């Protein structure tokens, strides 16, 4: 009977090597392992064996069965592979068909401007820093020398978040009124305070990001983008501010660009200056877009107010700093000659595709 079992395995091997498709493999399965198949046939003779022979024969029968099952699996896999290959060969692609056109996107003009600015400042040795868009009143206003009743808050009305369960600012923050109020940051300047609290001078950072104000018309959207710049070190003066701004504007608008500073006011800088650039389109001669002046107002800047340095734990007798904040959307608009800011955020591909 053991011989019979071995023969059975041999003939299964022979037959499965010829079984080229799934149907042939299935037929072989029924033939060898089916209820009325060869294996059952051989095992029917078990009853005639002596009792002591039965376990031995049973063991061999199980081994033969497992071996045939493995052969069946292998043959089935091979049959499937063969079918896949022949299907693929039948459906030969027509390489002469015209390709489906693929529309490629590109970076949004605001992202382009943001990346360009980061690259320009990387060359000047500035690192990119960031802060949260949902900000504490403490960092957005108070640590920038804008206490609760300061009139400068009027120009930066924003969206306040009423969350009594929100965590307090990190320990070590100065105890000031209103520090538990959360708001959508109105400018990127709070990153100045956060950076100064987290590292000693020299500090050289830019902080790009989204900011929010209660404003909406052709030149204001409730959300827009700014880049903050902060440099704190020993011996910095207004000359360093001018030099940095000049390098920035030349790199962004072109090598012939001139910058000029006009006196201004920001609570967190002293002195403060509004910065204009010569209009790159009319070369400073004056045109309709620059309202005939030849200059475009682009950003606010100044020397960091000693009170701001002191609040951050620095000694204004030892270190000084300069800072500025610039609207990225405005820079992108000027660069592309866009006259309605809202077009940047309507996501109309006919508009974006032209930029």
Contact residues toward ligand DAH (CB under 6 A) are 187, 189, 228, 266, 269, 300-302, 323-325
Closer residue to ligand DAH, CB minimum distance, 280 or 322: 322
Token readout for 290 is: 């620059």
Helix, strand counts (H, E) of the chain? 11, 10
| Residue 170, Cβ density class (10 Å: 0-12 exposed, 13-18 middle, ≥19 buried) | exposed
Q: How far is the CB of 115 from ligand DAH (least distance, A)?
A: 21
Closer residue to ligand DAH, CB minimum distance, 187 or 279: 187
Closer residue to ligand DAH, CB minimum distance, 137 or 228: 228
Q: How far is the CB of 192 from ligand DAH (least distance, A)?
A: 6
Q: Find where tokens 């800088």 sit.
A: 269
Residue among 138, 156, 139, 236 nearest 193 (CA)? 139
Secondary structure element (H or E) that encloses residue 65, with its range: helix 54-90
Token readout for 311 is: 């609040």
Q: How far is the CB of 145 from ligand DAH (least distance, A)?
A: 11
- End-to-end CA gap in the chain: 85
Q: How far is the CB of 164 from ligand DAH (least distance, A)?
A: 28
Q: How far apart are CA 65 and CA 54, in angstroms?
A: 16
Closer residue to ligand DAH, CB minimum distance, 28 or 227: 227
Q: How far is the CB of 302 from ligand DAH (least distance, A)?
A: 4
Closer residue to ligand DAH, CB minimum distance, 9 or 311: 311
Q: How far apart are CA 31 and CA 19, in angstroms?
A: 13
Facing residues of 275 across strands? 261, 299
Q: How far apart are CA 24 and CA 315, in angstroms?
A: 89
Q: How far is the CB of 282 from ligand DAH (least distance, A)?
A: 26
Closer residue to ligand DAH, CB minimum distance, 76 or 225: 225
**Residue least distant from ligand DAH (Cβ):** 325
Q: How far apart are CA 130 and CA 291, in angstroms?
A: 35
């Amino acid at each position: 009977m053991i011989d019979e079992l071995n023969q059975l395995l041999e003939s299964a091997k022979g037959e499965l090597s010829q079984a080229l498709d799934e149907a042939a493999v299935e037929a072989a399965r029924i033939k060898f392992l089916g209820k009325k198949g060869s294996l059952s046939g051989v095992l029917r003779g078990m009853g005639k064996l002596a009792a002591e022979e039965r376990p031995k024969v049973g063991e061999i029968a199980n081994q033969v069965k497992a071996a045939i099952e493995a052969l069946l699996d292998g043959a089935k896999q091979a049959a499937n592979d063969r079918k896949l290959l022949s299907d693929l060969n039948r459906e030969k692609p027509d390489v002469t068909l015209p390709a489906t056109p693929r529309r490629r996107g590109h970076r949004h003009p605001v992202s382009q401007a943001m990346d360009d600015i980061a690259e320009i400042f990387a060359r000047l040795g500035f690192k990119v820093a960031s802060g949260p868009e949902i900000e504490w009143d403490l960092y957005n206003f108070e640590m920038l020398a804008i206490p609760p009743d300061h009139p400068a808050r009027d120009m930066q009305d924003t969206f306040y978040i009423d969350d009594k369960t929100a965590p307090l600012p990190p320990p070590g923050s100065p105890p000031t009124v209103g520090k538990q109020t959360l708001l959508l940051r109105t400018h990127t300047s709070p990153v100045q305070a956060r950076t100064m609290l987290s590292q000693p001078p020299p500090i050289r950072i830019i902080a790009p990001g989204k900011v929010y104000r209660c404003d909406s018309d052709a030149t204001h959207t409730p959300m827009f983008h700014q880049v903050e710049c902060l440099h704190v070190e020993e011996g910095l003066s207004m000359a360093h501010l001018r030099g940095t701004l000049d390098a920035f504007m030349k790199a962004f608008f072109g090598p012939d660009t001139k910058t000029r500073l006009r006196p201004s006011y920001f609570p967190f800088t002293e002195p403060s200056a509004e910065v204009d650039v010569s209009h790159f389109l009319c070369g400073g001669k004056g045109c309709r877009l620059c309202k005939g002046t030849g200059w475009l107002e682009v950003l606010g800047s100044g020397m960091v107010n000693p009170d701001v340095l002191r609040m951050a734990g620095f000694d204004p007798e030892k270190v000084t700093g300069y800072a500025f904040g610039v609207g990225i959307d405005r820079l992108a608009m000027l660069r592309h000659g866009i006259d309605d800011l809202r077009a940047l955020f309507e996501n109309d591909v006919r508009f974006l595709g032209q930029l």
